[in-house]
Amino acid sequence: MSYVELKNICKKYKGNDKNSVTDFNLEIEEKEFIAFVGPSGCGKSTTLRMIAGFEDITSGDLLIGGSRMNETAPADRGISMVFQNYALYPHMTVEKNISYGLKNMKVPSAEIQRKVDWAVEILGLEEYRYRKPKNLSGGQRQRVALGRAIVKNQKLFLMDEPLSNLDTKLRVSMRNEISKLHRSLGSTTIYVTHDQVEAMTMADRIVIMKDGVVQQVGKPMELYEHPINKFVAGFIGSPQMNFYDVKVDGEGIVFSDGKKMKLPDAVKGKLQGYDHVVMGIRGEDIKLDSSNMEVYAECRQKAVIDNTEIMGNENNLYFQFGGITSVARVSKYEVSQVGDEIDFVFMPHKMHFFDAKTELAITADV
């Protein structure tokens, strides 16, 4: 049996015409790390807050450990939570922040001391133990918030964009620490983020949301390789997938700027019955090297680079093609300058096709 179950969960705020969350269904296994991801206002934090008990559930059932929790007080749901703005108690020291919940739970003082020592040690907070939050950096504050969550031995961790206030470097190291912590504690974690990189790198499964509706649930690579619709395809991956409005003809596809591309029969077969589709291709599936150029000679195209992004380990090349600004992600050894004319191919078996009206993937298995 799943540890957390969300059954047809809906949330509608008073005075709003539309639901903020609509028909949310999800089963989360014990010890699983689930990430809710989506753009601002998609309902991910609202869903998390409903699980925590800070928002009423308009309809549907929330089960934690097999028990219905809709009307249960937050403190009785067996959860710990890490907040976006840390939510530390500003007048208490690090040690008191961490031990406060345990004291209220009437845990014996020796046990409290042992747990605080353990948390302070694994989070590297020894030297800050007697400092107040205002004297800590963002990363240290976030560690205190984590410490406060882990000492209570709850089975379910909720994290609401815990790294969004940190700088990029710190975010990467904290990402790593949270993942390690999750593995060592063996807890179930629900992690809300708008950063798809965080979701991809940390989660066992990702829930992608848009306008309060779950778009797709799956393992990170499932979502990356087999997005169920254009939104998911565009949301996951950086740089974003290139989308082209194309017409389907007998030999392949015709781009909006009139350029044609022949497609292998296996790919063409997927487009039978369609006149007009959206074709998506990721930057790394646009190839400039000679070996791919030979293999996919039929798909060969030309363009002039109008911008480059040197990332160090790889380069992003921007060029006008098919009526949009396209981006190709190439290795750092494939150096091109602005103004260079390049030959490239789209790897046909890596193309994603979406219905132009519904935006649903025509096939997830091209």
Residues that bind other proteins (CB under 8 A): 52, 54, 73-75, 79-81, 83-85, 87-91, 100-101, 104-105, 148
**Smaller CB distance to other proteins: residue 90 or 264?**
90
Minimum separation from the CB atom of position 105 to other proteins (A): 6
Total count of residues recorded for the chain: 366
Whether the Cβ atoms of residue 339 and residue 304 lie closer than 8 Å to each other: yes
CB of 325 to other proteins, least distance (A): 40
**Can you spell out the DSSP letters for 84-135?**
TT----TTS-HHHHHHHHHHHTT--HHHHHHHHHHHHHHTT-GGGTT--GGG
CB 52 to other proteins: min, Å = 7
CB of 334 to other proteins, least distance (A): 47
In the complex with other proteins, which residue's Cβ is closer, 52 or 119?
Answer: 52
The type of residue at 101 is G
State in angstroms the smallest separation of the CB of 5 from other proteins. Answer: 21
Pick between residue 54 and residue 274 the one whose CB is nearest to other proteins.
54
CB atoms within 10 A of CB 246: 25
179 φ, ψ (degrees, to nearest 5): -60, -45
Q: Which residue has the tokens 């082209």?
A: 244
**H or E element in which residue 155 lies:** none
Contact status, residue 156 vs residue 80, Cβ threshold 8 Å: yes
CB of 40 to other proteins, least distance (A): 17
Taking the least distance from each CB to other proteins, the nearer of 85 and 135 is: 85
Nearer to other proteins, 11 or 352 (CB): 11
Quote the least distance from Cβ 113 to other proteins, whole Å. Answer: 17
Taking the CB of residue 1, how many other CB atoms lie within 10 A of it?
Answer: 9
- Dihedral (Cα; 288, 293, 298, 303), 10-degree rounding: 30
Q: Which is nearer to other proteins, 76 or 257 (CB)?
A: 76
Q: CB of 101: closest distance to other proteins in angstroms?
A: 3
Residues 6+ apart with CB under 8 A from 346: 261, 281, 285, 286, 296, 299, 301
Residues 6+ apart with CB under 8 A from 126: 120
Nearer to other proteins, 79 or 241 (CB): 79
Helices (DSSP H) in 22-74: which residue ranges? 44-52
Whichever of 58 and 84 has its CB closer to other proteins, that residue is: 84
Q: Which is nearer to other proteins, 67 or 173 (CB)?
A: 67
3-class DSSP assignment, residue 232: helix
Type of residue found at 223: L
3-state secondary structure 187-229: CEEEEEECCHHHHHHHCCEEEEEECCEEEEEECHHHHHHCCCE
Nearer to other proteins, 92 or 324 (CB): 92
We find the least distance from the C-beta atom of residue 97 to other proteins, in angstroms, to be: 9
Cβ of residue 197: shortest distance to other proteins, in angstroms?
A: 24
Query: Which two structure tokens, joined as six digits, stand for 192?
Result: 């809300």
